[in-house]
A = this chain, B = another copy of it.
Amino acid sequence: MTEEIATKIVLAARPKGKPTEADFRIERTPIPQPGTHELLLRTRYLSLDPYMRGRMDDRKSYATPLQIGDVMTGESVAEVVISHVPALAPGDLVLAETGWQTHYLSDGKALRKLDHRATPVTTALGVLGMPGFTAYSGLRFIGQPKPGETVVVAAASGPVGSLVGQLAKLSGARAIGIAGGADKCKYVKGVLGFDEAVNHKSASFSEELALACPSGIDVYFENVGGIIWQAVLPLLNKFARVPVCGLIAQYNGVSNDDRNNTVAATMREVLTRSLTLRGFLNSEFLKYYPDFLTEVGDALRAGKIKYREDVVDGIENAPEAFMGMLEGRNHGKLIIKVS
């Protein structure tokens, strides 16, 4: 099984929009030899994931971009071939950040040893790996579906989406999957057990999604963006939660020109900087009103809080004052002295 040479796939050029063959290059080198305290790994299974598209751009994201000529990033199930590290022996299987290449030298520190007797090793790249953990953590810590609520996820037949829906079902929520094509929809509903699956390639997709969510959407697990987000937005219920873990529909699409003026740009920042955007009405927190009156009232009386009022005389002047306020012409709290 040992190859004579190592093969690696490097970034040859930065994609403009969709990547093409020309953006990748295959390189062949001699198999590297491990130094003292090093291991030689042979990649068995390489995981391909949408986030890799982001690394190909020369743009600050949550990770450092690849440089031209770098081996493409990627996580693998790899086998130890030569070990100068006590904890691992030839034949052991590990999870490793090998990148897109057949051989990899490691100091053993960032490796997780896999137990292939418990579950098939490839699950460590999917349902029991980073994609699965993304589904789990986003749903558990941000989405927090309650029994009876409606959870929607796109790319529902994919590794993240398929687990999101199944975990939603296990927590007593309704799960609606969005997928591209009748086959994927059939799998999502028939095999994964989602309550409904909606085909985003359908001409009446928005209407079908609305029909599948008669009580609106309480959790939308966002991993696609673009037109899916446009269809979901009007269906979101009050207090809906939107964990944003990916925007695959936008990865090939947002140019730098768009960055400052599109919803895609906002969503991209939400994603890459783990932002929290949270709409609210103060009525939601009304039980804390007495605390507010005490704290801010005391601070006000102690001179620690200043305020200013802009008092306009006469109710007849309310419309003009109101119009001015919308353009920022007042200074301080606008109040009409009526009588």
Interface residues of A (CB under 8 A from B): 1, 3, 7, 9, 18-21, 23-24, 26, 42-50, 52-53, 62, 72, 76, 79, 100-102, 118-119, 122-123, 125-128, 130-134, 136-138, 140-142, 155, 157-159, 162-163, 166-167, 170, 180-181, 183-184, 187, 191-193, 222, 229-230, 233-234, 236-245, 248, 251-252, 260-263, 265-267, 269-282, 284-285, 288-289, 292-293, 295-297, 299-301, 304-309, 311, 315-316, 318-323, 325-328, 331-339
Contact = CB atoms under 8 A, between A and B. Distances in A.
Given A326-B248, A333-B158, A280 B315 contact: no
B280 A245 contact: yes
Given A133-B285, A239-B275, 15 more contacts: A20-B323, A46-B318, A47-B336, A48-B318, A126-B307, A126-B333, A127-B296, A127-B333, A230-B261, A243-B278, A244-B279, A244-B280, A262-B262, A275-B277, A276-B276
Nearest to A301: B119
A332 B131 CA distance: 11
Top 4 closest A-B pairs, CB basis? A126-B333, A137-B285, A127-B307, A159-B333
A248 B311 CA distance: 20
Nearest to A137: B285
Nearest to A183: B331
Contact of A319 (B19, B242, B326): B19
A275 B279 contact: yes
Contacts of A315: 7, 9, 43, 46, 100-102
Given A300-B123, A308-B157, A322-B52, A76 B338 contact: yes
Contact of A233 (B18, B123, B265): B265
Contacts of A245: 279-282
A292 to B, nearest CB: 5
12 contacts: A46-B318, A101-B315, A119-B301, A122-B309, A125-B335, A138-B282, A180-B328, A191-B306, A234-B260, A236-B275, A245-B279, A277-B277
Given A242-B275, A318-B100, A326-B53, A43 B338 contact: yes
